[in-house]
A and B are shown apart, each in its own frame.
Chain A
Amino acid sequence: MELVYYDDESTSDRVQQLYTKLITEDKVDFLISPYSSGLTAAAAQVTESYGKIMIATGAASDSIFKKGYTRVYQVYTPASKYMAGAIDMLQQVDPGIKKLAFLFENSKFAKSVATAVKAYAESKGYEIVYEEYYPSGATEFTTYIAQIAQSGAEALLGGGHFQDGQSLAQQLYQQKPPLKAVFILVAPTVPEFADIGDAAVGFMGPSQWEAIAPYSPDQAKTLGLEWYGPTIDEFVNAYKAEYGKEPGYHAAGGYVAGLVLQYALEKAGTTNPDKVKDVLDNMHILTFWGEIQFSSRAEDHGLQVAHERILIQWQKVGGKLERVVVWPAKFAKAQALYPIWG
């Protein structure tokens, strides 16, 4: 097997050129998506038109899978289910809270998360008293934070990608608006979030995967599913041996894209794309990443339907910054720090 890859410079144009090149010049058999929903949507246009199978990782947007594509498969939990856990958690931890602020990135992914969680929150009786979408790449949030402080919001949901989320957290910590809980997409789940030091404490975020997740071959037996690939410990140790640091969910998500492909190729016993597609359409397995099953419905073909997400929070454990799982309760290893700034 040979891996061919290029630097897409995070631009859609480049992605489309390179995916075309991969298919027509490099003659690759299978593809793995670029990072982010926007770029994956651009790549999917190309791979679909050539009838190639693409495993989408790092792309959580739902809309890619509602365009009638039949050969794109998502390993991430879709954005529509991303932050529902935050609402569930708030309801349990502090039923008195009713007012939420939304401050998400103006990107495909973050907007689809926001739209979904807004509908969910409103159905649970929450009022969204502040709603703004900042431009991608924003690093200055002082104005937004001052507005949020004025809005009467009691909890904040927001973020988009890593850097904006980290800057937002750092500036929230500096300003300390009267919020009791803050949930941020992506950033808190990345180990480098700890670079902001004590400012990291208390921030929560939904994670696709954590090394402390509860999946095991034994659990597969209980659930009546097939276990495939390395255990969590095996994956984490191999990754650490190679790269010298803990894998975050981006790394695990990248690995699992290859793992899914390997599974499908083994089962199909051929690289014939139709046979491999058959396996992908019908598989339901448990891996170190969690459950994996793709929708085979026409209206959202390839959408991830089985993988579940957890909420993590940064806490000081014995003087050291650590991510702990605080939700769902059945997986939680620690009590959530609430309210965020004591």
Chain B
Amino acid sequence: MVSPELLGATVINGLLLGVLYGLAALGLSLIWGIMKVVNLSHGATISLGMFLTYMLVVTPMKLPLWAGVVLATLLGVPLGILFYTAAVHKVLGGPELSSLLTTFGLGLVVRGLLEEKYGGAARTIYTPGEKTVRILGISYSYVQLAAVAIAVATTLAVYVLVYRTWFGRAVRAIIMDKEAAALMGVDTTRILALSFALGASLAMLSGSLISLIYAFTPLTGLTFELYSFVIVVLGGLGSPVGSLLGGVIVGLAEQVSALYIPVALSPMVAFIILVAVLALRPTGIFGGM
């Protein structure tokens, strides 16, 4: 029998974890929604964010944690522009398979480089002596809570960016009709490159934040990529708030189900939800943009 206290603690834990899942899915959701590109380099970019943070705050550099997170996120911008101009731009508007293969290839390159440098062994960025807060019997470190707060704030900022700025209007115009947008004076190539950069930068940020809490390998990003697909389907393409809610649903489903079924089976629950949503409501629970 599960006590109410344990259930409460698990719900909170699922919420906190879910917010991070949501942030990890956000970049994928935007690029998918805006460019109709299913970015299979997303997971590798998340891993890259983890290892960049590791390089910045553990070895060879020893910057403060916040500086590691900020720098890793910012480096996502040139990286995204590089990916876009070098590879993605050329296959945009082509058959879906081309962009799938291109981004899959980019992902393999990034993952291969990480594996070459770091091997398969897990790394950790521990923050010993970190203060903790106890909520319903479970302790959370300040770093963990800060990561969650940053994830929520970022999601809201991206929402504002997409719905309240000129950039966002241009992006939404491209989503509706790329040619018409170009005729109205929108520099579509630039906007698309910037969108891809935004997606990469969000992936790097989520990787960076996750690396402060959990151990990671060059393959860890892939797990988050898989969850991201579930979340994007739940939340709807290109919807920041949908991503956040989708992430929370997945986080809660995984954590709470673990109380009632063998824990090893709990990751399966998210995918069962995916299948159910695809069958019953293919536009996602929260619709699309």
B129 within 8 A of A: yes
Q: Which A residues are CB-close (under 8 A) to B126?
A: 170, 195-197, 199
B63 within 8 A of A: no
- The range of chain B's interface size is 20 to 34
What is the bound-complex CA distance between A176 and B141, given in angstroms?
13
What is the bound-complex CA distance between A305 and B129, given in angstroms?
43
Please determine whether B262 and A132 come into contact, CB atoms closer than 8 angstroms.
yes
Please determine whether B259 and A143 come into contact, CB atoms closer than 8 angstroms.
yes
Please determine whether B9 and A146 come into contact, CB atoms closer than 8 angstroms.
yes
In the complex formed, the residue of B with least CB distance to A161 is B122
Please determine whether B129 and A197 come into contact, CB atoms closer than 8 angstroms.
yes
What is the bound-complex CA distance between A10 and B120, given in angstroms?
8
Please determine whether B129 and A198 come into contact, CB atoms closer than 8 angstroms.
yes
Please determine whether B13 and A163 come into contact, CB atoms closer than 8 angstroms.
no
- Residue from B3, B124, B264 in contact with A195 in the complex, judged by beta carbons closer than 8 Å: B124
Counting residue pairs across A and B whose Cβ atoms lie within 8 Å, the total is 72
- The range of chain A's interface size is 20 to 34
**Given A167-B215, A197-B129, A147 and B6 touching (CB < 8 A)?**
yes
Please determine whether A163 and B122 come into contact, CB atoms closer than 8 angstroms.
yes
B138 within 8 A of A: yes
Task: Classify the interface of chain A: helix, strand, loop or mixed.
Answer: helix
B128 within 8 A of A: yes
B139 within 8 A of A: yes
In the complex formed, the residue of B with least CB distance to A150 is B6
A174 within 8 A of B: yes
What is the bound-complex CA distance between A175 and B141, given in angstroms?
10
Closest Cβ of chain A to B47, distance in Å, is 14
Closest Cβ of chain B to A142, distance in Å, is 5
Q: Which A residues are CB-close (under 8 A) to B3?
A: 150
**Given A9-B120, A146-B10, A163-B215, A174 and B139 touching (CB < 8 A)?**
yes
**Given A140-B17, A142-B13, A167 and B124 touching (CB < 8 A)?**
yes
A335 within 8 A of B: no
What is the bound-complex CA distance between A175 and B138, given in angstroms?
6
> What residues of chain B have their CB less than 8 Å away from a CB belonging to chain A?
3, 5-6, 9-10, 13, 17, 120-122, 124, 126, 128-129, 132, 137-139, 141, 214-217, 255, 258-259, 262-264, 267
Q: List 5 A-B contacts (CB under 8 A).
A: A133-B262, A133-B264, A150-B5, A170-B124, A174-B139
List of 5 A-B pairs having minimum Cβ-Cβ separation, nearest first:
A197-B128, A163-B122, A139-B214, A139-B215, A135-B264
> What residues of chain A have their CB less than 8 Å away from a CB belonging to chain B?
9-10, 106, 132-135, 137, 139-140, 142-147, 149-150, 162-163, 166-167, 170, 174-176, 195-199
List 11 other contacts, CB 8 Å, given A174-B132, A196-B124: A106-B264, A132-B262, A133-B264, A134-B264, A135-B264, A146-B138, A147-B6, A150-B6, A166-B124, A176-B139, A195-B124
